[in-house]
Amino acid sequence: MTEERVLALAGLFQAVTLARQLANEGRCDDVAMAASVASVFRIDAPSVAAVYGRVSGVRLGLRQLIAQLDEDGRDMAVTRMVVTVLRLERSLARQPALVARLQEGIVAARRQVEHFGQDSPQVARRLAELYAETLSTLKPRVMVSGHPQYLQQPAVVEKVRANLLAAVRSAVLWRQLGGRQWQLLLHRRQCCMLARGLLTGATLENG
């Protein structure tokens, strides 16, 4: 396990956690969501940390990853969603035409970012549409349970899907870095140790 892989994994855990926050509370950590959504557009970043802006961009994800690796703090709903996203990434990898369509959609959405700003409802809507047109057509589907009051609000659903797109982005990155699911079981302690070190560094970095 490497720091780069742990960062990508933290990106995945963060995006899934944000989707769950939105589904259950109708809102989420805006700073963390901004970093997660930005990662979708940073295809040619010079480093893994730069994909999320910097290490502090995935602080929420690092905390969640540590909690999931620790027997006492585990949230099985988050674990299930992470495993589903990793399987969804494998399905996507077997569909090159869909990958190309997804990439084209991200480039088009980037133009909306330049026009409206990344945190605008228009960008969240476009990313949600892109998720629905591409990743939602594959199996397994990522099921997000939550409060019906929030899941009936289009703006909340759009943000949920935008975060799921960010989750898949991190899953793709993790795979590109040599990440494999069995490593989570075999190198759990090492992964947890690296995550704690990165979280400490991010806290210092952020002041």
Which tokens belong to 84? 């589903």
**Residue 207: pLDDT band by 50, 70, 90 thresholds?**
low
pLDDT at residue 70, as a whole number:
80
Domains of the chain: 3-206 (1.10.3890.10)
Rounded to whole angstroms, how far apart are CA atoms 24 and 81?
15
Local confidence band at 192 (pLDDT 50, 70, 90 cut-offs): very high
Q: How many CB atoms lie within 10 A of CB 206?
A: 11
Give the model confidence (pLDDT) of 82-141 as tens digits.
Answer: 999 999 999 999 999 999 999 999 999 999 899 899 999 999 999 999 999 999 999 999
* Distant-in-sequence, close-in-space partners of 87: CB < 8 Å, separation ≥ 6: 140
Residue 172 has pLDDT above 80, yes or no: yes
Beta strands in the chain (DSSP E): none
Q: How far is CA 195 from CA 7, 56, 189, 206, in A?
A: 8, 12, 10, 16
